Structure formats: C-alpha cells, structure tokens
Amino acid sequence: MKKALYVAATAIALAAGVGVYLNSGATAAPASKFVLLDGSQKTTADLKGKVTLVNFWATSCVTCVGEMPKVIATYDKYKDKGYDTLAVAMSYDPPSYVVNFAETRKLPFKVAIDNTGAVAKAWGDVQLTPTTYLVNKRGEIVKQYVGEPDFAELHRLIEKLLAEA
C-alpha cells in the first residue's frame, strides 16, 4: 500500500513538473557495470573517492534534455574538487541518438548506455526519467531525485559532501 501511494504521488508530482526528493539515509550504491560510449567500462567501485552524480536520462525525455545544461554547469563547477557525473541513458534510447546528443551537446562527463536495462533495475528499478542519485565518496547513495533536482539545494549538498574526509 505504501509503495502504491508513493508511485501515485510521484506520478502526480512529475505530471506537475515537480522533482521528487527521496531520502532514506545513505545506502551502498548497487554493484553495477556501466558501458560507456567509447566502449570502455566503469563499475560502481570506480565511483568511490569522488562525489558522483548518477543521472538516468533519455533523449526523448523533455525534462532530461531541459536539465542537461544545469547538469553540465554543475559538473564544470565542481569537477576539479573531487566531483564527477555519470549520465546513464535508458535501455529504450537508441544508441545512435545518445551518441548524437552527447556529441552535439559536448557532454563533458562520461555517458553510459544501459542497453539491457540491468543498471536501471539494479538502481531501484528506475523507470521514470530523469532519476538522479548523488553518491558520496564512500560509494553510498545519499540522495535520490525523481524529476529535475533543485540545483541550488543540490549544490549545497555537493559542497557538504566534498568537504567530508
């Protein structure tokens, strides 16, 4: 019942264009293998040591495309301070569209294609985009957003996490 209410509230909030913030305390990021556009791979273990934004998105998602300049600006602002971004394209997104988007928008961070849907499934069965996770230096998810985050609040949290030992 609780999950059904959450799903209904999330759907209503997203329909209204409101980002939903979920926080259940820090939990370990799920073990995943990310296949990057250049064919190389990154794992969840590779995220440790940096504060990382893991953004599930799609080229067909209007909110995703709309928030991408803010995701880029956030990356540019903090990349030299121990911050990283990993954009994970959903399995239904044609790889050629993802490559074209990454190249034409000059995405400065790593982009992965979740061609089997296994990564989205591992990260809480992500189905709605954008869904964004903020992972601390220890590899723990400290915040999840469904919809576009409040970027001013996100920046404050990034700064707090970067300051941690």
Cα distances (Å, whole numbers) of residue 162 to 49, 50, 109, 141, 144: 10, 8, 18, 14, 17
Q: Where are the alpha helices (DSSP H) in 45-138?
A: 62-78, 95-104, 118-122
CA distance 102 to 111: 8
Residue 94 lies in a domain: yes
Cα distances (Å, whole numbers) of residue 133 to 6, 96, 151: 18, 25, 13
Task: Provide the number of structural domains found in the chain.
Answer: 1
Residue 73 lies in a domain: yes
pLDDT at 142: 97
The CATH number linked to 157 is: 3.40.30.10
Can you give the residue range of the structural domain that contains 99? 23-163
Instruction: Report the pLDDT averaged over residues 93-112.
Output: 97
Radius of gyration of the chain (CA): 15
Percent of the chain with pLDDT over 90: 84
User: Three-state DSSP class for 86?
Assistant: strand
Beta-carbon contacts of 103 under 8 Å, excluding residues fewer than 6 positions away, are: none
Please report, as a single letter, which amino acid is at residue 48. K
pLDDT at 25: 61
Per-residue confidence band for 26, with pLDDT thresholds at 50, 70 and 90: confident
Instruction: Report the pLDDT averaged over residues 52-76.
Output: 98
